[in-house]
Amino acid sequence: MVASAYCELRKDFPRLALTIAPRHLDRTPEVESALRAASLEFVKASELNSPNAAHDADVLILDTMGELRGFYRRGAIAFVGGSLAPGRGGQNPAEPALADIPVLIGPYHENQKEIVSSMVNSGGARIVKNAGDIISEASKWLGDEGALQQAGRSARASVSSGAGGARLALKHLEALISLG
């Protein structure tokens, strides 16, 4: 779905690049197959220094660990996976939000309900159900730099406002324990 949406978005945004970071690296071959099926040129991060790497590829598969945060700082929009179909519950959208990146996330984000709700209410995230939604919502942000930046700031603010929640809960628990 994301590859299909990307192909359509490139028609209006020809310089658009895509980085895909599989949650589990053993899914990299599945990602490669989906990109081949969409006729997209890709390169894997682990092969960037190889003389055979396709350095002009439009899609980067981030098949290495610990680099995603750096890519968020260079990104425009993040699609947070594990959320388009039931069963996975969605990945955490906080990391891209903290990099001032607006977030697209699917309707099956039950593991992230509170943070997604806060981000959607602030304008920093949008729920998408299919490739058409991804195209529509991404186009709105990509076509309006001011809206894109505002959405990124809103995403960050909504996540930042929830920071410290664990510390507050711990204080409440300590108070309850001291009563007993």
Q: Taking residues 120-142, what's their average pLDDT? A: 97
pLDDT value at residue 163: 57
Domain range for 91:
2-179
Q: Is 90 exceeded by the pLDDT of residue 111? A: no
- The pTM of the full predicted model, rounded to 2 decimals, is 0.83
CATH number of the domain encompassing residue 164: 3.40.50.2000
Q: Within the chain, where are the H helices?
A: 2-12, 28-37, 68-74, 94-98, 113-122, 131-142, 145-161, 165-179
Work out how many domains the chain is built from and give that number.
1
* pLDDT, tens digit, 9 for 90 and up, residues 24-60: 899 999 999 999 999 999 999 998 887 776 667 889 9
Number of C-beta neighbours around residue 124 at 10 A: 26
CA dihedral sign, ordered 50, 53, 13, 2: negative
Give the pLDDT band (50/70/90) at residue 160: confident
Q: Is 90 exceeded by the pLDDT of residue 137? A: yes
* pLDDT, tens digit, 9 for 90 and up, residues 63-79: 988 888 888 888 899 99
